[in-house]
Amino acid sequence: ENGVFMGEVPLTLSVTVNNQEEKTKKSVIHLAVTTDDYQPVQEFSRKITVRSQESMTYVLPLKISNPGFYRCTLRLETDGVKGEPLTFNIGLEPEKIISPIDAQEDFDAFWKETRSILDSTPMRPSMKLLKEYSTGKRNVYYVEMKSFGNEIMGGYYAVPKEKGKYPVIITYMGYGSNPWMPHTDGEPGFISFVVSVRGQGIYKAGNKYNDKWIVWGIEDKNDYYYRGAFMDLVRAIDFVCSRPEADKDRIAAEGGSQGGAFTMAACALDNRIAVAAPTIPFLSDYPDYFRIVDWPRSDIDAYMREHPQATWEDIYKLLSYFDIKNLAPRIKTPTIMGVGLQDPTCPPHTNFAGYNLITAPKDYRIYQDNGHNTPPEWQEVRMEFFKKHLKLD
């Protein structure tokens, strides 16, 4: 279903060939299958005959057996000429994908110390009403506060004008996203907080990280960009819980790509989020991730060319502290995940590497035709999940 097989036998692929020409077409269908990290699995060819103005469907056998995701390439050869390839991903039993945890012995101690530093850092929040964006049912504010290392972070915070206590949706943004604000008439009955972490979003212009957040401070786990950025996620929750209009027992978190990773990290590092909806999550299962796609490994390759003393052993050891896979077992938050089956940036394998280690109630949706995004229907799916777990039905 939706390009993902859940153990049914035999595994097959249906291919439809249309012949719009005036003569019968004799062709060959070529199918090549590899793992998502390009290891060959299967090659298959079948001769076909399609009469003029007819359409024929052929069932091709698939010889895949291990849970995971696979790359399929179809070509139609006619008169010795191969047509353009059609390449797409399929999946097999993704909930059985095993990505062993590779956390270091001091993993928990590292995050405990990091959190204690944040907790001892005064927040000093400020709020500024943005009147021109507050013409509807919600007031929209620009908020700013101090976080880990006394760095600035903040975002846009929308609050219903009618007095009361409201559930909150915290939205964490993607890698290098430009700032955006919640609409004054959006998400009726909810507070919305769209968070900008250090050096991104609102703070992206002229940021000191040179837009290379993935490698900033990678020499030392104590200085690595995502140590502070992950604490900015928690500080956003601190801010929400300090607000009298926020229902602290009804906080939802969501985000896509880096924002999906942030959503999962926030749930792992703090217990105040009641429900979560990450999509296409980033920053997970680095060793496999870097075998499947080129970026962000290419940024680290560039760093290593400039720092020849760096080794992959050291890089992977450091990244293990910030790997969503290693944080996922801490998540006690009901979670629904959205996945784009054709995602070339945060491939589905890496999404499930973390998801499969969550022990809380969980669900997912895989969207067969989507790449590094989810379709419009996801908005309703995640809102139904929010309302169920926030007891707003």
Would you name the residues annotated as active-site residues?
257, 343, 372
d(CA 269, CA 107): 12
Identify the CA nearest to 88 among candidates 374, 368, 375.
368
- Per the CB < 8 A criterion, the answer to whether 9 and 54 are in contact is no
Range 115-132 burial, b when 16+ CB lie within 10 A, else e: beebeebeeebeeeeeee
Q: How far apart are the first and last CA of the chain?
A: 29
Contacts made by residues 21-28, CB under 8 angstroms, sequence distance 24+: 21/52, 22/52, 22/53, 23/52, 24/49, 24/50, 24/51, 24/52, 25/49, 25/50, 25/52, 25/78, 26/78, 27/76, 27/77, 27/78, 28/76, 28/77, 28/78
Alpha helices (H) in the chain, listed in sequence order: 107-119, 225-242, 258-269, 286-292, 297-306, 312-319, 324-327, 348-355, 377-389
Calculate Rg over the CA atoms of the chain.
24
Range 355-392 burial, b when 16+ CB lie within 10 A, else e: bbbbeeebebbbbbebebbbeeebeebbbebbeebbee
Identify the CA nearest to 17 among candidates 4, 5, 31, 3.
31
Q: Strands 246-256, 166-172: parallel, antiparallel or unpaired by DSSP?
A: parallel
Identify the CA nearest to 343 among candidates 290, 277, 305, 292.
292
Q: For residue 5, give the DSSP letter.
A: E
